[in-house]
Chain A
């Protein structure tokens, strides 16, 4: 037990919302400041992620394809995304004549909203987290599933058959893969014994769940990664967009800024998926620890938690991009088959095995 107490003392979590609450009795102005800081930092994060990830994606894609990628605007094309954003903002925003105007206008924001809401609870480091909801894991899966609404509304309101097909595909796909993702989440919740995201991270002080929970963690990690890639509509699961089949799917009829919003939410989604996977299975901001080896753990602690978090998330983002630039697209029925006939049974069995493992306390380096 001492080990855990030590770890918790070392990794005291203090979120921005905690600070706000603490500051209210003393100085309401400071509280307001913290509150505004939270809002601004999420906004900045979305914009920053958009810029960085789109540039990274283009560069990584280029190098996978034996070309250079953006090279002209700024040093090695660093400002290319900025130039593209300005172009998209200045472009005409076309709404099809017979589209449902209100819905059509709303859809991109709905899509972005879901991702922004998840960004709020991600633990970036012990002191860098905006809100630490006590049902964090549940919140993530609930709010994350909200993103489908934007896609469905976009496809429905566009009054275009290709868009509708894309939206329906996305609906079926995201709903199905949500189940597998949730099952994999539950495995981690069983091991961690908490729904709080910071609690999940702290529970990995003796080792990340991906290897600490024997094979169970690894299987759950794989299922969660596949399901996350499917949920964020990226190749090989990008059937909702499927530009060679559906000419862009749900966003066929979108142009200018609204298209940019879909684009942005796709990239921020990718970050969210990678960050959640890293938090649950790769220890989030927790350095690489091996239970009991205090000397080794102390050396690992030298690297600050934010770097650990970004490193893990960055690796997963690279992995997801690697998928995209290597794999072809699955067909819609094959996608469903993969979920309902392969991932779901494995996920269920894995969950039962996990429950047994937790009940009899048989994981690596059991909690002392």
Chain B
């Protein structure tokens, strides 16, 4: 059997006839790499019939930095810092996955304090990620005010992080064996202040945006992704949950302090943009719930169980560990030859799989819907390209 490869150029120049009695012609448009709605340097080749999207072909690789290859020349502790630059809105969770994998493989013990702080930070991170997404989502639908509201509230979370870790975006906080620094003395106070501030703001989000009749008209029934399609494309996180599957690693395979806390996993019904939107809004409330349960009882203990200068050696073998970031399941696969550096390291990023959901969900809708769908999937491009 011979396989004829179909290149991008072939698909673009195919020139399918449109389903219209008028003599019309399909055409293609490059959405990106510089486009306000692709959130970074992603390129979507869109085959259009007038305003209607017929096919979406994502083209990635514009911010490929070879993070996985670089990892082969770095120690495990050093590699953690690179992961911040993948999904920069989940920097702490990215660190955590690597730390978790290395700890499990090298048999490093951690204590309750470390796990509780990691969990709180990861949930704070999830909230700020969703805040940013909410703002950008509003902007993509044309509501610019939402963008600034989202950023205004995100500022408080980044301030808390800045106080403890010294950085606002790429925090390098979680390391194999513990945390880079202990929490700032004002951390607990700051988090409580933020929660008290943010709870009423979530209601404000709803009054400004969720309840708007235009938002409802723009989101309901748009970009439906069936559970089967979502699973077959490997979608995870809010995209999968929006399609109605309650798959959340925090619940299914609890890690950190998630086993000790009560929270719900919100799921959608139809898998349209509105469901994905609502799942994320609800996740912010659940994250607040998780933090509230943990923040008062951070156990005493050391913030680092191993010496920061000690060498971490992972025994020979292949190890896989995963965690739930704000966008879905982030996995890390380490192939070790027993040395200080991994022989091969691979990250399974949620954004790559989620992006491909657009190709399934967008055809048949309008260009404006494509923007809404892309935004409801919430991709971070540097995580796709790595």
Whether the Cβ atoms of B371 and A244 lie closer than 8 Å is yes
CA distance A325 to B143 in the complex (A): 7
Contacts A161-B27, A239-B368, A328-B212 given; indicate if A245 touches B149 (C-beta within 8 A): no
Contacts A244-B36, A244-B142, A245-B37 given; indicate if A331 touches B148 (C-beta within 8 A): no
Whether the Cβ atoms of A329 and B142 lie closer than 8 Å is yes
Contacts A65-B145, A165-B367, A244-B371 given; indicate if A330 touches B217 (C-beta within 8 A): yes
User: Would you list the 8 A-B pairs with minimal beta carbon distance, nearest first?
Assistant: A329-B142, A328-B141, A328-B143, A65-B148, A328-B142, A331-B368, A244-B140, A244-B37
Q: B142 is contacted by which of A61, A235, A247 (Cβ under 8 Å)?
A: A235
Q: Distance in Å from the Cβ of A7 to the closest Cβ of chain B? A: 42
Interface hits, B130-176 → A, CB 8 Å: 138-146, 148-149, 152
CA distance A325 to B142 in the complex (A): 9
In the complex, residue of chain A having the shortest beta-carbon distance to the beta carbon of B30: A161
CA distance A333 to B222 in the complex (A): 13
Chain B residues near A360 (CB, 8 Å)? none
Contacts A236-B214, A332-B366, A332-B368 given; indicate if A325 touches B144 (C-beta within 8 A): yes
Chain B residues near A334 (CB, 8 Å)? 217-218
Q: B298 contacts the other chain (Cβ, under 8 Å)?
A: no
CA distance A235 to B140 in the complex (A): 13
Chain A residues near B217 (CB, 8 Å)? 330-331, 334
CA distance A334 to B212 in the complex (A): 15
Whether the Cβ atoms of A66 and B149 lie closer than 8 Å is yes
Q: B70 contacts the other chain (Cβ, under 8 Å)?
A: no
Whether the Cβ atoms of A333 and B142 lie closer than 8 Å is no
Q: Distance in Å from the Cβ of B374 to the closest Cβ of chain A? A: 10
Chain B residues near A328 (CB, 8 Å)? 138, 141-143, 146, 209, 212, 214-215, 218
Q: B208 contacts the other chain (Cβ, under 8 Å)?
A: yes
Interface hits, B151-208 → A, CB 8 Å: 152, 208
Q: Distance in Å from the Cβ of B365 to the closest Cβ of chain A? A: 9
Whether the Cβ atoms of B148 and A67 lie closer than 8 Å is yes
Contacts A236-B214, A330-B214 given; indicate if A325 touches B145 (C-beta within 8 A): yes
Give 28 CB contacts A-B under 8 Å.
Answer: A61-B144, A66-B148, A67-B148, A161-B27, A161-B29, A235-B142, A235-B143, A238-B142, A243-B36, A244-B140, A244-B371, A245-B367, A245-B371, A246-B367, A325-B145, A326-B145, A326-B208, A327-B214, A328-B143, A328-B146, A328-B209, A328-B215, A329-B143, A329-B214, A329-B368, A332-B51, A332-B368, A333-B51
Interface hits, A316-337 → B, CB 8 Å: 325-334
Q: A250 contacts the other chain (Cβ, under 8 Å)?
A: no
Chain A residues near B29 (CB, 8 Å)? 161-162
Q: A305 contacts the other chain (Cβ, under 8 Å)?
A: no
Chain B residues near A236 (CB, 8 Å)? 142, 214
In the complex, residue of chain B having the shortest beta-carbon distance to the beta carbon of A237: B142
Q: A242 contacts the other chain (Cβ, under 8 Å)?
A: yes
Contacts A66-B149, A244-B139, A325-B144 given; indicate if A331 touches B37 (C-beta within 8 A): no
Q: B218 is contacted by which of A65, A67, A331 (Cβ under 8 Å)?
A: A331
Q: How many residues of B contact A (CB 8 A)?
A: 30
Q: A331 is contacted by which of B138, B208, B369 (Cβ under 8 Å)?
A: B369
Q: A348 contacts the other chain (Cβ, under 8 Å)?
A: no
Q: B11 contacts the other chain (Cβ, under 8 Å)?
A: no
Whether the Cβ atoms of A66 and B152 lie closer than 8 Å is yes
In the complex, residue of chain A having the shortest beta-carbon distance to the beta carbon of B37: A244
In the complex, residue of chain B having the shortest beta-carbon distance to the beta carbon of A333: B366
Known: A66-B149, A327-B142. 14 other contacts (CB 8 A): A65-B148, A67-B148, A238-B142, A244-B140, A244-B141, A245-B367, A325-B145, A328-B209, A328-B212, A329-B143, A330-B217, A331-B369, A332-B51, A334-B217
What is the 8 Å Cβ interface bit string for chain A, positions 212-254, against chain B (1 contact, 0 not)? Answer: 0000000000000000000000011011001111110000000
Interface hits, A138-173 → B, CB 8 Å: 161-162, 165, 169
Q: B65 contacts the other chain (Cβ, under 8 Å)?
A: no
Q: Distance in Å from the Cβ of B138 to the closest Cβ of chain A? A: 7
Q: Distance in Å from the Cβ of B49 to the closest Cβ of chain A? A: 12
CA distance A15 to B116 in the complex (A): 78
CA distance A304 to B247 in the complex (A): 68
Chain A residues near B140 (CB, 8 Å)? 244
CA distance A277 to B235 in the complex (A): 51
Q: B311 contacts the other chain (Cβ, under 8 Å)?
A: no
CA distance A198 to B142 in the complex (A): 38
In the complex, residue of chain A having the shortest beta-carbon distance to the beta carbon of B215: A328
Q: B35 contacts the other chain (Cβ, under 8 Å)?
A: yes
Q: A296 contacts the other chain (Cβ, under 8 Å)?
A: no
Q: A364 contacts the other chain (Cβ, under 8 Å)?
A: no
CA distance A236 to B141 in the complex (A): 10
CA distance A239 to B141 in the complex (A): 11
Chain B residues near A242 (CB, 8 Å)? 142, 368
Q: A64 contacts the other chain (Cβ, under 8 Å)?
A: yes
Chain A residues near B367 (CB, 8 Å)? 165, 245-246
Q: Distance in Å from the Cβ of B304 to the closest Cβ of chain A? A: 40
Q: Distance in Å from the Cβ of A195 to the closest Cβ of chain B? A: 35
